[in-house]
Chain A
Amino acid sequence: MKALLLCLWMVAAAVQAQATDPLEARTQALAAQLRCLVCQNQTIADSHAPLAVDLKNQVRAQLAAGKQDAEVIDYMTARYGDFVLYKPPVKASTALLWAGPALLVLGALTGLALALRRRAQAAPEAFEPDSDLQDDDLR
């Protein structure tokens, strides 16, 4: 019983330490912005791949050495390229990626507006009568 309590206390203390340690919090925040190169749809914060653990240690060590967040990000992109950023930066090569959804919505809305206007201006004869409807159905 004593051992169990001690165990629980240790876990609680560890969790508390992780939550309150500002260095650990910054490390986690940065790690959540960096892509794991091995398991490419995870951040290095989520991944347990050996490289992700190494990179997380690298982030922690650099922050402990007094580096700014931006400097750590630069360190990673210098080695692994923009791919390492979970959120791609806005630049010429990614312009279509960022503007794409807006362009699609714009295109769809333009198409809709044109179609509606054409329909509003069309004469009643332009609409095909419902030829397969019998006269009784209308009555």
Chain B
Amino acid sequence: MKLKTLIPLLAFGLLAALLARGLQLNPREIPSPLIGKAVPAFELAPLQENAAPLRQADLQGKVSLINVWASWCAPCRQEHPLLVDFARRQPQVQLLGLNYKDQRDTAQAWLKELGDPYRAIGFDDKGRVGIDFGVYGVPETFVVDRSGTIRFKHVGPITAELLRDKIEPLLKSL
């Protein structure tokens, strides 16, 4: 058999490989330009009464997980038990909440019903701080290291696999 006759087969194989790769990528996932950058400067009023505000300085010196959530967001309800469990298992990581474009009373009721795993929650009712964090699909979760640098970002609800295979090993290395 001549090499020339193999060319269509090779071309097909190459195309199939490219398409197979394409199917495994998520076109909705947008690479964040904030990875490797410092957390943006912000200061938010607390969601809960008598709690401290949440500001950029709170991220210094501790490894943090920032979870962007809202009571109107269905996938947030789905991931919430994982966060409650995470906070109990890993108390050395500070789990912070960013309550995004929500209403104070419904957000508080939501936490009363499902449990409050957050060490502090900023109330971003206008979504301004959300824009500074490049938030576009709630829920979103950020891993921030001791120096206040964003190391990882996940858009969409976290899963047990993601937590076990990616987030927790990363947190451990920080």
Digitize A30-67: 1 where CB-to-B-CB distance is under 8 Å, 0 elsewhere.
00000001101000000000110011001000000000
Q: Are B136 and A78 in contact (CB under 8 A)?
A: no
Distance to closest chain A CB from B140 (angstroms): 11
Distance, CA A54 to CA B126, complexed state (A): 9
B115 within 8 A of A: no
Q: Chain B: how many interface residues by the 8 Å CB criterion?
A: 16
With both beta carbons as reference points, the residue of chain A lying nearest to B135 in the complex is identified as A51
Q: Are A79 and B30 in contact (CB under 8 A)?
A: no
A80 within 8 A of B: yes
Interfacial chain A residues near B156, Cβ < 8 Å: none
Q: Chain A: how many interface residues by the 8 Å CB criterion?
A: 15
Q: Are B33 and A38 in contact (CB under 8 A)?
A: no
Distance to closest chain A CB from B167 (angstroms): 22
* Residue from the list B32, B101, B126, B137 in contact with A38, Cβ < 8 A: B137
Q: Are A54 and B137 in contact (CB under 8 A)?
A: no
Distance to closest chain B CB from A92 (angstroms): 15
Q: Are A81 and B32 in contact (CB under 8 A)?
A: yes
B28 within 8 A of A: yes
